[in-house]
A and B are shown apart, each in its own frame.
Chain A
Amino acid sequence: MTWDYFVPFSIAALHFWGFGAFAAWRGRKPYVVGGLTLIGLAIFFCFIVGIWISLERPPMRTMGETRLWYSFFLPLAGLITYSRWRYKWILSFSFILSLVFICINIFKPEIHNKTLMPALQSPWFTPHVIVYMFAYAMLGAATVMAIYLLWFKKKPIDSREMDLCDNLTYVGLAFMTLGMLSGAVWAKEAWGHYWSWDPKETWAAATWFSYLIYIHFRLGKPMLYRKALILLLISFVLLQMCWYGINYLPSAQGVSIHTYNLN
């Protein structure tokens, strides 16, 4: 399995996710929706497993590889949200987001290097990245919801819709916390200290605190919907900085020990 097979696999997966999202939108039975989405996830996961085997290392090093996981977790996060709270449109949102990330991978492929530097050869590597990607997917869904409520919804915001934002953020933050803490324990193993104010760590901390502010703001001022939603958007911008923004920051060039995809 090589990246040459990405197009057929992703298109097949996208079709099933699309049908699943459509079925959910039309209010079809949950098992139809779940079944279609799961088939799509299985197809996409087959590709991930195949590329994992052919690379002989976890496909998590380059940005293209993390996008692969992100495109996988978005429909999964959507499906979990759907099965818990039965929002009809959530799968359509996760489908569109996933489509965007798959398109980036198709049209802007990056260097596909088989090598993995010693610092990344650790049992912590896989859980650290997967947990973070899942958190990003959840928080991405919360962001889409926030954009919808802020600018697209004509009627006033319903408290149940704010609950969804809260729930997505709680789950995303929980996984983000696990990602950060597993990263700290791993850093102790690999670099000798659990926190070294590396640019990536600093931005991760900023993102984490920003989501904490959102949660506490919601508890303290539960009626100020729009302000809370804007906080959610600011947090997501910080998250983008942490994820890939620092690769373009002059202060992190050659300094951050977290930039592995730049050769």
Chain B
Amino acid sequence: MLSAWPFVLLYIWMMTVLGLTTLRAGFPFRWKKLAFLLNHAGLFIALITATLGNADMQRLKMTTRIDNAEWRAMNEHGKLIELSLAIELKDFTIDEYPPKLMLIDNETGRTLPEKAPEHLLLEEGVTDGRLVDWLVTIRQTIPWAASVATEDTVKFTEFHSMGATYAVYLQAINQKTKTAKEGWVSCGSFIFPYKALRLDSLTSLIMPEREPQRFASTVKVYTEDGKQVEDTIAVNHPLNVAGWNIYQLSYDDTKGRWSDISVFELVRDPWLPAVYTGIIMMVLGAICLFVNAQKRKEEDAE
């Protein structure tokens, strides 16, 4: 960003104008100028400190494995850096939404109907539903299932261990042609392959991979001064320890909810309080702008 010279020139020009305008309006100080100052000085502070923060900020990536403590993290250039804190991953979990059923075109693999695909969310209590012309009735549900190959087909049984998948036995009846089909459908896992149900020569019924609802890592963080912090880090819920913000970044996506690693992003931005000062000033300024929208005109008229 700072390597593009038009951007740099524009930035310097704007900061100069903005700074000088703020100074001119701010001295001597008058209450009438408060909204103006909040908006202009706030923007000035936020933009200057954000630029400084961009240069001073550290963003590191740390990969942790369950039951291991990790104190090294990688920066943007791929260099390993030793930190003054260590993170021990206690547990990693993914909560998932209930699975969905969808129709796909056998040739192209695209979901149907082409422009606005329909789906049936298998929430608790849902036992039947419609997908385009097909009436789907769920006969049996196994939330923790394993696929077992029999002589001529694949069936599913209860399986309460790592790699379990979600499987339903269902019946589908086409309301136009009155053809009926039944069989197992499953989204599969890193151990078991997925299972689709071929309805006719054109369409198949599938269960796409379940969508994640929440990623969370239970961690224990050790700092240099001997402090230990135990907490849960989730998306939208970072942990702040010893000047670092620790974010849930990623996991082993080939294993999905069975991942035994969790990847964190560690961010340290010494300019953050200053940026937030600017942001708060601008928020107050915006509120003044809204309140004063009409008043300003009345003053002009006087």
Does A109 make an interface contact (CB < 8 A)?
yes
Q: Are B211 and A193 in contact (CB under 8 A)?
A: no
Q: Which residues of A are interface residues toward B (Cβ below 8 A)?
A: 84-85, 109-111, 113-119, 121-122, 163, 166-167, 170-171, 173-175, 177-178, 181, 184-185, 188-195, 197, 263
Contacting residues, chain A, for B276 (C-beta < 8 A): 185
Q: With A114-B121, A118-B213, A121-B214 as given contacts, are A181 and B293 in contact (CB-CB < 8 Å)?
A: no
For A193, give the chain B residue with the smallest CB separation: B267
Q: How far is the CA of A263 from the CA of B286 in the complex (A)?
A: 35
A171 to B107, CA, bound (A): 53
Residue of A nearest to B234 (CB): A118
Would you give the shortest CB distance from A126 to chain B, in whole angstroms?
13
Q: Which residues of A contact B59 (CB under 8 A)?
A: 192-193
A85 to chain B: which residues have CB within 8 Å? 294
A118-B212, A167-B294, A174-B289 as given contacts; A192 in contact with B282, CB under 8 Å: no
Residues of B contacting A175 in the complex (Cβ-Cβ under 8 angstroms) = 286, 290
A119-B279 contact in complex given A110-B116, A177-B286, C-beta closer than 8 Å = no
Which residue of chain A is the closest to B215 with respect to CB atoms? A118
6 nearest interchain CB pairs? A118-B235, A174-B290, A177-B286, A174-B289, A170-B293, A122-B236
Q: Which of B144-182 contact A (CB under 8 A)?
A: none
Q: Which of A117, A122, A185, A188 contacts B212 (CB 8 A)?
A: A117
* A167→B297 contact, CB < 8 A: yes
Separation of A113 and B211 alpha carbons in the complex (Å): 11
The B interface, classified by DSSP as helix, strand, loop or mixed, is mixed
Chain A nearest CB, measured from B233 CB (Å): 12
Could you tell me the distance in whole angstroms from the C-beta of B43 to the nearest C-beta in chain A? Answer: 9
CB distance from A102 to the nearest CB of B (A): 18
Chain B residues within 8 Å of A167, by CB: 293-294, 297
Chain B residues positioned under 8 Å from A111 (CB to CB): 116-117, 119
Structural contact, B282 and A181, CB atoms closer than 8 A: yes
Pick 21 A–B contacts, CB within 8 A, sort by A: A110-B116, A111-B116, A111-B117, A115-B211, A117-B211, A118-B212, A121-B214, A121-B235, A121-B236, A167-B293, A171-B293, A174-B286, A177-B283, A177-B286, A185-B279, A190-B236, A192-B238, A192-B245, A192-B265, A192-B267, A263-B117
B247 at the A/B interface (Cβ < 8 Å)? yes
> Are A184 and B287 within 8 A (Cβ)?
no
In the bound complex, do residue A197 and residue B282 qualify as a contact, i.e. CB atoms below 8 Å apart? no
What is the distance, in angstroms, from A86's C-beta to the closest C-beta of chain B?
12
Please, which residues of chain A bring their CB within 8 A of the CB of B1? 197
Within the assembled complex, what's the spacing in Å between the Cα atoms of A117 and B212? 7
Residue from the set B97, B211, B293 with the largest chain A CB neighbour count within 10 Å? B293
Q: Which residues of A contact B62 (CB under 8 A)?
A: none
Smallest CB separation, B137 vs chain A (Å): 20
Across the interface, which residues of A come within 8 angstroms of B136, CB to CB? Answer: none
Establish whether residues A166 and B297, one from each chain, have CB atoms under 8 Å apart when the complex forms: yes
Q: Which residues of B lie under 8 Å from residue A173 when comparing CB positions?
A: 286, 289
Most chain B CB atoms below 10 A, which of A84, A117, A188: A188
> Is A174 in contact with B293, judged by CB distance below 8 angstroms?
yes
Q: A115-B97, A119-B236 are in contact. Are A195 and B282 (CB under 8 A)?
A: no
**Contact status of A181 and B117, CB under 8 A, knowing A170-B293, A189-B238, A197-B1:** no
Contacts of A192 in B (CB 8 A): 59, 238, 245, 247, 265, 267
CA distance A72 to B282 in the complex (A): 27
A258 to B296, CA, bound (A): 36
Q: Tell me how far the C-beta of A166 lies from the nearest C-beta in chain B, rounded to whole angstroms.
A: 7
Query: Contacts A111-B117, A115-B97, A197-B1 hold; do A170 and B236 have CB atoms under 8 A apart?
Result: no
Chain B residues near A171 (CB, 8 Å)? 289-290, 293
